[in-house]
Amino acid sequence: MEHLRRVGQLWSWLPGFRAVAETEHLPSASKGLLVTPAALSRTVRLLEDELGVRLFDRRGRRLVLNDDGRTLVTAVRSAMRMVDDALGSLQGSTLSGPVKVAAGGVGQVFAQRALARVRRAYPTIVPHLLTPRPASAAADLLRGDLDLVVASFVVRGDGLDTELLGHDTNGVYCGPGHPLHGQQAQLDEVLSFPFAAPVADARGVTPEGWPPEIERKVGMVLDRISSGLSVVADGDLLAVLPDALAKRDERLHRLPVDLVPPTPIVAILRSSLGAQDRVALVLEELRKEFPP
């Protein structure tokens, strides 16, 4: 009973603690909970005093989660998810309502097809197909703003799982107005024409995986690979495109040069607590996109 009494005393403070932990900003957290920053600050202080440990490092006006705070917020997230799963089960809503999936580039092709099958099988599930933000993907997942990310990048963090779904191949494509359209061009001839390409990093590596040791002309810089689809189809530039994405436009011609290795496609989600819910259904359908 002593254990239950102590947990019960802390319980009402935990939502406020989680909000501050996930924003590290009292005004932002207070808006989400509809309380004043002063009240939320007092909640954090009471929780720390009761536990006898500091959960945040104070840096000016900022509250930065420390190691003890990260341990607690991981447990709080899991506990809240278990309660939410139980409520959903009691109310019969585990297989209805929204499922928020972020997918970028070629990942969007696979996500669209998987979500369409889920929706046909379970009309009460409402998919949200969103654009991922790599810098905040982990936080968005842990907060519950996203349920699943389908991407070619990996996000690591406590409470997150990453599953390799499979790989998608890439090719060099041109549109119907390009001199090489319909031709079986060799590498030297391909390299004589300009490309539309993403920005390279300090090592000369671009997101589409062009080998940095092979020089090429860049006639247009893109902020995302998927933009290359319309740029190539409607213009006179070449581009490296994922085959699954390029196949959606019959005007594009794939040149017979294989320079870019396959791209890994991963699913990133909150660590499983054993619930068979909407996210599990989407993940199951995504796996079908990459048969063994």
Q: In terms of residues, how long is the chain?
A: 292
DSSP string spanning 128-168?
EEE---GGGHHHHHHHTS-SEEEESS----TTEEEEEEEEE
Is the fold of 93-166+264-288 the same as that of 170-261?
yes
Per-residue tokens: 135: 């810098």
d(CA 271, CA 277): 13
Please tell me the distance from the alpha carbon of residue 220 to that of residue 29, in angstroms, as a whole number: 42
Report the alpha-carbon distance of residue 127 to residue 222 in Å, rounded.
Answer: 29
Determine the pLDDT at residue 205.
Answer: 78
CB-side exposure of 156: number of CA atoms within 13 Å? 0
**Cα–Cα–Cα angle for 69, 72, 75, nearest 5°?**
150
Q: Dihedrals φ, ψ of 77, to 5°?
A: -60, -45
Instruction: Provide the token pair at 157.
Output: 């963090």
Quick check: helix, strand or coil at residue 67? helix
Domain range list for the chain: 2-89, 93-166+264-288, 170-261
Report yes or no: 63 and 91 within 8 Å, Cβ to Cβ. Answer: no
Please count the other Cβ atoms lying within 10 Å of the Cβ belonging to residue 233. 19
With the CA atoms of 130, 131, 134 and 138 taken in that order, what torsion angle do they form, in degrees rounded to the nearest 10?
-10
Q: Are 267 and 163 in contact (CB under 8 A)?
A: yes
CATH class of domain segment(s) 93-166+264-288: alpha beta
Under CATH, which number does the domain 170-261 receive? 3.40.190.10
Please check whether residue 1 is in contact with residue 122, taking contact to mean a CB–CB distance below 8 angstroms: no
What is the pTM for the complete model shown?
0.76
Q: Which residues of the chain have pLDDT under 70?
A: 1-5, 88-94, 273-276
Topology given in CATH for the domain delimited by 2-89: Arc Repressor Mutant, subunit A (1.10.10)
pLDDT of residue 243: 93
Which of 234, 244, 240, 245 has its CA nearest to residue 218? 240
d(CA 137, CA 132): 7
* Alpha carbons 10 and 17: distance in angstroms, whole number: 10
